[in-house]
């Protein structure tokens, strides 16, 4: 895991196979500016192309108030139409790179998330959030609409009717409501979301990394199609694992009653 030093992100390893990524603009509630768009795109692209030892990543925000406040509206104030579209095209590529990343990414939502901040969490594989945090896709109040995948990822998480209500009213909801609706996997006590997400990342990292990546891809791509086609995709993904060293090691370790040593090969 060799990454450059990012201006808006803080990276640290949590054990041999886990990467913790922190949105690091706490003075503006970790709002996404152009620089952060470049940094996130570079990070997810590198993690896709050369994950190295990384088997799971956790994404969180700096400070205790917010995971991410969404797009930086101070930077956008007075922006020309051309500049706005160019910036948003960068953001689009960043969101897609996150959703396409083969390494599992867990959102550890340490606080509030609005607009693109919530869409960033929705682009992760699943979400842990602190009790009392508030979320919203509030773009309709600004004369725009969700543009970071929110009209696609939110209904897949909470259902079409609930998503329409939340997007069209732009109203905020709590982490507890998100848990009831299926958006949030676990509600954590304040200050605990990151630690609990790292514990889950550790459990994922102990499994065969190629198996984890193939299973993630199968779930993600299968949901875009009918069940029969999705199942055929699953079998193709499954068969790619049959010849791997990790499959041989996993079965051997089971029979020898020991912990397997997976190498991602």
Q: Is 119 an active-site residue?
A: yes
Q: Beta strand pairing status for 56-61 and 186-188? A: unpaired
Phi/psi for 188 (5° steps) reads -110, 155
Query: What is the per-residue burial (b if ≥16 Cβ within 10 Å, else e) of 70-108?
Result: bbbeebbeeeeeeeeeebbebbebbbebbbebbbbbbbb
Structure-block tokens of residue 95: 């969101």
Given 7, 16, 64, 119, which residue is catalytic? 119
Please give the DSSP secondary-structure letter assigned to residue 59.
E
In angstroms, the Cα distances linking 96 to 7, 20, 35, 39 are 21, 20, 17, 14
Q: 16, 50, 92, 139: which one is catalytic?
A: 139
The question of whether 139 is a catalytic residue gets the answer yes
Task: List residues with catalytic annotation.
Answer: 119, 139
């Amino acid at each position: 895991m060799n990454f450059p030093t990012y201006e808006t992100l803080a990276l640290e390893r949590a054990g041999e196979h886990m990467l913790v990524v922190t949105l690091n603009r706490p003075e503006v509630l970790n709002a996404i500016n152009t620089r952060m768009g470049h940094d996130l795109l570079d990070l997810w692209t590198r993690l896709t192309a050369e994950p190295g030892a990384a088997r799971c990543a956790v994404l969180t925000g700096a400070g205790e108030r917010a995971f991410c406040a969404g797009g930086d509206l101070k930077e956008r104030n007075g922006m020309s139409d051309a500049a706005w579209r160019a910036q948003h095209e960068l953001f689009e590529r960043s969101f897609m790179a996150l959703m396409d990343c083969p390494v599992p990414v867990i959102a550890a939502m340490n606080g509030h998330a609005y607009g693109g901040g919530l869409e960033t969490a929705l682009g992760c594989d699943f979400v842990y959030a602190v009790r009392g945090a508030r979320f919203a896709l509030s773009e309709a109040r600004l004369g725009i609409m969700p543009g970071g995948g929110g009209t696609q990822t939110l209904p897949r998480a909470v259902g079409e009717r609930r998503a329409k209500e939340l997007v069209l009213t732009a109203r905020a909801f709590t982490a507890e409501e998100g848990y009831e609706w299926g958006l949030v996997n676990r509600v954590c006590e304040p200050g605990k979301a990151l630690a609990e997400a790292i514990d889950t990342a550790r459990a994922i990292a102990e499994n065969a990394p190629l198996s984890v990546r193939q299973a993630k891809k199968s779930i993600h791509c299968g949901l875009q199609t009918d069940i029969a086609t999705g199942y055929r995709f699953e079998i193709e993904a499954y068969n790619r694992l049959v010849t791997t060293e990790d499959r041989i090691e996993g079965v051997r370790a089971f029979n020898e009653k020991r912990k397997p040593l997976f190498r991602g090969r």
